[in-house]
Amino acid sequence: MPELRSTDTVTGLLAEIADVGRDRQRGGYSRPVFSTAERDLTGWFIAHAQRRGLDVHTDLNGVIWASSGDLSSGESVVTGSHLDSVPGGGAFDGPLGICSALVAFDRLQQRGFTPLRPLSIAVFPEEEGSRFGVACLGSRLLTGAIDPDRARSLRDADGNTLAEVAAASGLDPRFLGQDDGTLAAVGTFLELHVEQGRGLVDLSKPVGIARSILGHGRWRITVEGQGNHAGSTLMADRRDPMVTAARVVVAVREAALAHPDSRATVGRLTPVPGGTNVIASSVTLWLDVRHPRHEIVATVVQAITTEAGRLAAEEGCRVTVAEESLSGTVQFPTGLRDMLSHTLPGSPLLDSGAGHDAGVLAARVESAMLFVRNPTGVSHSPEEQVEADDAEAGAIALADALQALLTRD
């Protein structure tokens, strides 16, 4: 009989990992996929899963599955989230879903009902795309939403390819890609996540249910000019890509403002070579654009591309815009949503501005999400917050929802 840690709480579990991957420079946590910090977290998760008697295995794409019951029925109920983070991220984005899954599993064990199907907890790698640029990379590979050749050749900031880093982490990069065998075991996926906006705060509710995820994508904008000396190059003689990049950042904001409900962000910008007394030879900007209707995302990106070309020409520079990832708007299935609303009365429906593995999985399996109130309404920042009572309420809501799914006719 496995040792049941029925005394674990969500905040207790989060406290166990509170020192892993702390970023002393940025504040918060930096837990890139396949880093020491992320490996420590996945090792910690596996120990907790094994202590609960779950069978743990890592699939061909590095997704960790911890399961109870025979998965061959193809109807398993899966919950989970991710353990990687953005640079300088908060403590809850990802880990709240994993810790809540472990606590919900404990609560279900205590209830002693007879499940009609197996239950698994899944941990998805590189949800944030912080290391290799493509968000939800693990679930995209699993579902076939990214070409594995392209994925293998993605590079991190140090120039290492995903194939190299995955191999060093014990995965065989030849086998990255769509894995119908693993997916066939999944009947329903339910992800619990910290809310990343103010929806639940404004409604004074601890838990919500996802209705949709905005269409969103990422683009790499490269501006090339002429690298030169900061002192000996007259202002009139310059082709400075940093000047164009600065104007593009402003154009990004203006394009978003011109299309109501859209959001467009440049959160990362790299000048090459990057010296105080050096006019850059090129600058790369990473653009993130989102809108409830994905066709508007394309319109906004087209407007930015056109304006970037004009601004580059004014400076004598060249610009290229390359798509890195694109996700259509996701509407979660109404039947499952209604079932969750019935199980969790009073929980409002929310549209998510953030992307999630549940959104990627929704293309292949019945998927849904729960959100837990974030009193600051801030995320991807150390200011992200969840109150202890809300965290435990979220785990109970997850347990209730899983029980309903595990006993559904």
Binding site for ligand GLV (CB under 6 A): 128, 135, 354-355
Looking up tokens 């065989």 gives 172
Segment 131-190, which members bind Mn ion (CB under 5 A)? none
What's the full length of the chain, in residues?
409
Closest CB to Mn ion: residue number: 93
Give the whole-angstrom CA distance, residue 99 versus residue 82.
10
Q: Which does 271 bind (CB under 5 to 8 A by kind): ligand GLV, Mn ion, none?
A: none
> Do 209 and 369 contact (CB within 8 A), yes or no?
yes
Handedness of CA 140, 146, 147, 151 (dihedral sign): negative
Give the whole-angstrom CA distance, residue 214 versus residue 135.
14
Give the residue with the Cβ less far from Mn ion, 140 or 247. Answer: 140
> Do 370 and 402 contact (CB within 8 A), yes or no?
no
CB of 392 to Mn ion, least distance (A): 20
Give the residue with the Cβ less far from ligand GLV, 128 or 392. Answer: 128
User: How many CA atoms within 13 Å lie on the side-chain side of 283?
Assistant: 26
CB of 329 to Mn ion, least distance (A): 18
Give the residue with the Cβ less far from ligand GLV, 142 or 360. Answer: 360
Kindly report the backbone phi and psi dihedral angles of residue 210, in degrees, each rounded to the nearest multiple of 5, phi listed first.
Answer: -75, 135
- Residue 93 found at the interface with Mn ion (CB under 5 A): yes
CB of 107 to ligand GLV, least distance (A): 27
Of 85-93, 131-139, 140-148, 209-217, the segment contacting Mn ion by CB under 5 A is 85-93
CB of 204 to ligand GLV, least distance (A): 24
Give the residue with the Cβ less far from ligand GLV, 285 or 354. Answer: 354
Q: Which two tokens stand for residue 221?
A: 């904008």
CB of 86 to Mn ion, least distance (A): 6
- Residue 38 found at the interface with Mn ion (CB under 5 A): no
> Do 71 and 120 contact (CB within 8 A), yes or no?
yes
- Residue 288 found at the interface with Mn ion (CB under 5 A): no
> Do 272 and 281 contact (CB within 8 A), yes or no?
yes
CB of 49 to Mn ion, least distance (A): 20
Q: Which does 106 bind (CB under 5 to 8 A by kind): Mn ion, ligand GLV, none?
A: none
Q: Which two tokens stand for residue 218?
A: 């990422």
Give the residue with the Cβ less far from ligand GLV, 135 or 142. Answer: 135
Residues 35-68 as b/e (b if ≥16 CB within 10 A, e otherwise) read: bebbbbbbebbbebbeebebebebbbbbbbbbbb
Give the residue with the Cβ less far from ligand GLV, 27 or 316. Answer: 27
CB of 175 to Mn ion, least distance (A): 26
Give the whole-angstrom CA distance, residue 391 versus residue 207.
9
Q: Which does 138 bind (CB under 5 to 8 A by kind): Mn ion, ligand GLV, none?
A: none
Which residues are 285's β-sheet partners?
221, 269
Stated as kind and residue range, the H or E segment containing 305 is: helix 294-314
Q: Which two tokens stand for residue 232?
A: 């000996």
Q: Which does 355 bind (CB under 5 to 8 A by kind): ligand GLV, Mn ion, none?
A: ligand GLV
Q: Which does 135 bind (CB under 5 to 8 A by kind): Mn ion, ligand GLV, none?
A: ligand GLV
Q: Is cis: bond before 118, omega within 30 of 0?
A: no
CB of 354 to ligand GLV, least distance (A): 4
Give the residue with the Cβ less far from ligand GLV, 76 or 327. Answer: 327
Give the residue with the Cβ less far from ligand GLV, 341 or 381. Answer: 381
Residues of the shown chain interacting with Mn ion in the complex, contacts defined by CB under 5 A: 93-94
